[in-house]
């Protein structure tokens, strides 16, 4: 892992930790639109965490794909495209679900399709690239969680 990847990954982990704290804070007293109970937990907490993990795994996989593409390995082109779509879809879902949007379910349905396509592309490289394996697993889990919304 190079310095740029380390800094990017560290920032993503810190941001994720902050969101995890927010989503699961039992003592949070504000009446926020994303809450549905007196505990302060989002009704989408589990799927949001799945989407955040999937987005992060896709970001890391995309970085790897770009590096390999720059070295001349064209086999990761479809994987790079799929991860970009997954990042966009998960980001949109996170934004909608965290605001309890009426479009959350429709976006979740689209995310299932996009995450399944990404998982299919990443699975082809999972045996040779650990980041592709992680993305494949994350997309598979995310698609399953999104299907429950």
Cα 136 to Cα 104, 125, 128, distances in angstroms = 23, 9, 13
Residue 106 pLDDT greater than 70, yes or no: yes
Angle 137-141-144 from CA coordinates, rounded to 5°: 145
| pLDDT tens readout for residues 32-65 | 444 444 455 678 999 999 999 999 999 999 999 9
More confident residue, 3 or 23: 3
How far from chain centre, in Å, is Cα 34?
19
The reported pLDDT for the residue numbered 59 is: 98
**Cβ of 2: how many Cβ atoms within 10 Å?**
9
Q: What is the largest CA-CA distance in the chain?
A: 54
């Amino acid at each position: 892992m190079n310095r740029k990847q380390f800094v990017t990954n560290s920032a993503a982990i810190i941001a994720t930790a902050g969101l995890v704290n927010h989503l699961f804070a039992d003592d949070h007293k504000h009446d926020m639109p994303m809450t549905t109970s007196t505990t302060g937990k989002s009704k989408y907490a589990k799927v949001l965490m799945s989407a955040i993990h999937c987005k992060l795994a896709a970001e890391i996989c995309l970085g790897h794909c770009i590096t390999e593409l720059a070295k001349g390995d064209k086999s990761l082109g479809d994987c790079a495209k799929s991860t970009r779509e997954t990042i966009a879809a998960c980001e949109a879902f996170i934004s909608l679900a965290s605001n309890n949007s009426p479009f959350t379910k429709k976006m979740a349905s689209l995310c299932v399709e996009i995450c399944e396509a990404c998982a299919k592309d990443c699975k082809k490289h999972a045996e040779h690239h650990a980041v592709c394996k992680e993305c494949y697993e994350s997309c598979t889990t995310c698609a399953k969680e999104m299907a429950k919304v």
